[in-house]
Chains A and B, each alone.
Chain A
């Protein structure tokens, strides 16, 4: 077969099972959780491109440009609007699932299938669950009027 352009991956079998990007896994052949996550990483990736980069540009570039500083009053005014709370909740949820699934795949590539891999992935999932719950709780329940009565420092 004549070479077409600069093919960098053997073009055999089901076209969707090739790994053209070579930066990720080929699409899992069987339907199931692994294939669902393959699609989830790509769809959440596009959403995170807007959400995460938007968040970083607002918080680090625009805040620096306008000479503002991030403090309790800044957060109170920002989370006074449901738009930014939903934005932040969506960003938190997608970033955590996307990031933890990525880390799980990286662990899977370096640690052989077995007890140690199970343990590491178990710790990762448990930590992600606790942190996600904490994050959702903070974003969803933040109330500047009651916040100061909760803490041990005030």
Chain B
């Protein structure tokens, strides 16, 4: 895909950009969606029904993962930019960001998917 052997550094950097752009695109859509509040309860409540289905919920879980990854990786960037001696833990910190994102997303993803999951209201 990149034409050469990719490192975790490049992957972390690419993921940071991809998740950032993704969240920005969502922000633009979110502002438009919220602007329907000005048209009153009927219009807004109708708009919200468009967001209550499985594909949108999966997108929201993806959005949450992007935000969690971008936050944790951004924190790592800040720490390493202001305390350059931490660069000697570059690999553990990068792996830590990826592992923490996955660990955080397991309970949050389960809670978010529950209304659409087969185990709901058993």
Collect the chain A residues with CB atoms within 8 Å of residue B111's CB: 61, 64-65
A20 to chain B, nearest CB (A): 4
A131 touches B28 (CB 8 A): yes
Collect the chain B residues with CB atoms within 8 Å of residue A64's CB: 111-112, 114-115
Interface residue tally of chain A, by bracket? 35 or more
For A23, give its contact among B27, B31, B73, B84 (CB under 8 Å): B73
B14, closest chain A residue (CB): A23
A46 touches B78 (CB 8 A): yes
Q: Is the interface of A mostly helix, strand, loop or mixed?
A: helix
A99 touches B90 (CB 8 A): no
Q: Is B95 in contact with chain A by the CB < 8 A criterion?
A: no
A63 to chain B, nearest CB (A): 10
Known: A7-B88, A21-B76, A153-B43. Is A103-B31 also a contact (CB below 8 A)?
A: no
A100, closest chain B residue (CB): B24
Collect the chain B residues with CB atoms within 8 Å of residue A42's CB: 77-78, 81-82
B75, closest chain A residue (CB): A49
